Amino acid sequence: MSPALVETLLAGLNVDRGLRDAITGDLIEERAELAAVHGERSADRWMRQQILRSVPVFVQAAVRNGGFRLLAAIVGAALAALLAVSLLIGASAALLSALVSPETIGRLTIVALTIDLAYGGGGGYLAARLGRAAPLGAAFVFGVLGVSLTLMWGGDAHGWYRPALQLLLIPATVSGGWLRARHLARRAHSA
Amino acid sequence: MFYIVDIMTSRAVGEFELAVLLCVGLLRDDAYGVTVRGAVSKRLGRDCSIGAVYTTLQRLENKGFVKSRTSEPTPVRGGRAKRCFALTAAGDRAIRQAQATAQRLWSGSGLRLSDT
């Protein structure tokens, strides 16, 4: 796990910049000491374990400190992003049906899935941008709302299209959120 | 009434917080993430995560028990600064209070580990 990845993850969890720097520096320092004694592979494993064990602690601390306000900020950001993406999807669907016949659209399922996942990624990025208090949390909630909508939606889509969308939507939205967190981490580093 | 209870709860120190506080006090000028994590893990006899140590240090700082400063970035840390911690007078009092409470609890109990 690289230091840049650690910084992105911490930025996504809204850990402040000074603390991100200190935590990443500590991990680099201790990892180097371990690598000198036990080898690179063992040091990498230790670092991964530290991160995996620390993420729930940071989430728990954020929930404890933020409480209802944090929840409202996350859900609000996810709903705002959902509204924006729904409008875009509606507009692009109208444009597509004006340009291409319904039979042709029916044959382009893979293209439709790719477009929807791209919208999911974009929406995840937007949710993370709006939900500054917890960028990755907002992107994840956006994904959960999106999947919930596809579960309720009774369209006559191609057989595998809907299960594929339900399976891939949350990873796509979290990827969008991750992109936003990476921007935040890089911006802080270059400032 | 609720205000008093809230203040009492926020000023109280838990077991892990006490361990971190104690280690910050013992490490004096060398108290930062790596050393505090190492010292707490050694004292508690279990490996503590860096996240647990930092969230606790932040909580202790919010309570006014520790204060922090940022050091100069160093190459060995990939150009990143250390956050060094030091005990405040309130933190020192909190340690002494916790010790006194533990002594009051144990004194005259007549219990030994083999009895429990």
Encode chain B (116 residues) as per-residue pLDDT tens digits: 444 444 444 567 888 999 999 999 999 989 999 999 999 999 999 999 999 999 999 999 999 999 999 998 888 888 899 999 999 999 999 999 999 988 888 887 666 655 54
Q: How far is CA B59 from CA A71, A124, B30, in A?
A: 21, 31, 20
Distances (CA, A) of A42 to A16, A29, B41: 29, 15, 19
Residue B68 bridge partners (DSSP):
B85
Q: Which domains does chain B have, with CATH numbers?
A: 11-99 (1.10.10.10)
Q: Under an 8 A CB cutoff, do A50 and B50 touch?
A: yes
CA A90, CA A119: separation in Å to the nearest integer?
11
B83 shares contact with chain A (CB less than 8 Å): yes
B71 touches chain A (CB under 8 A): no
Domain that holds residue A56: 3-190
User: What is the pTM assigned to this prediction?
Assistant: 0.81
Interface touch A22/B54, C-beta < 8 Å = yes
B16 and chain A in contact, CB less than 8 A: no
Contact B81 A19 (CB under 8 A): no
Instruction: Return the residue in B30, B50, B69 with the most chain A beta carbons within 10 A, the one to mutate for interface testing.
Output: B50
ipTM reported for the complex, 2 dp: 0.82
Q: Name the residue with tokens 């597509």.
A: A96
The enclosing H or E element of B18 equals helix B15-27
Higher pLDDT, A143 or A1: A143
- A57, B52: Cβ pair inside 8 Å? yes
Mean pLDDT estimate for chain A: 89
The answer to whether residues B39 and B22 touch, using CB atoms and an 8 Å cutoff, is no
Domain count of the fold of chain A: 1
Residues 6+ apart with CB under 8 A from A15: A23, A58
